[in-house]
Amino acid sequence: MRTLAVLPSRYQASRFPGKPLAPIAGRPMIQWVYEAARRAEGVDRVVVATDDERIAAAVRGFGGEAVLTIPPCPPEPTAPPPPWRPWASPSTVC
């Protein structure tokens, strides 16, 4: 069995916008998280899922894998959640 670790990473946050890109000891925070996930026992692949091109570019810049998510839509009270798109689809996921 193969294990995929998906790291959700948003740029917008009410308390600390841009937190994933904040430098810690010379590297963006998302790089520290990505590298820790790569070292985790049993994890075969790590992907950062983000809705922000700046985060995706930073991840790709250090050799990581990133996919862009679809920006969230306003929820409708009676609407079911959007369907999950398989990882085999183009580089955009829900």
Mean pLDDT per 10-residue interval, the chain, length 94 residues: 91 90 97 98 95 96 94 56 48 44
CATH, residue 16: 3.90.550.10
Domain housing 16: 4-93
Total domain count for the chain? 1
| DSSP letter string, 27-80 | EEHHHHHHHHHHHSTT--EEEEEES-HHHHHHHHHTT--EEEEPPPPPPPTTPP
Q: What is the pLDDT of residue 59?
A: 98
Say if pTM beats, i.e. exceeds, 0.95.
no
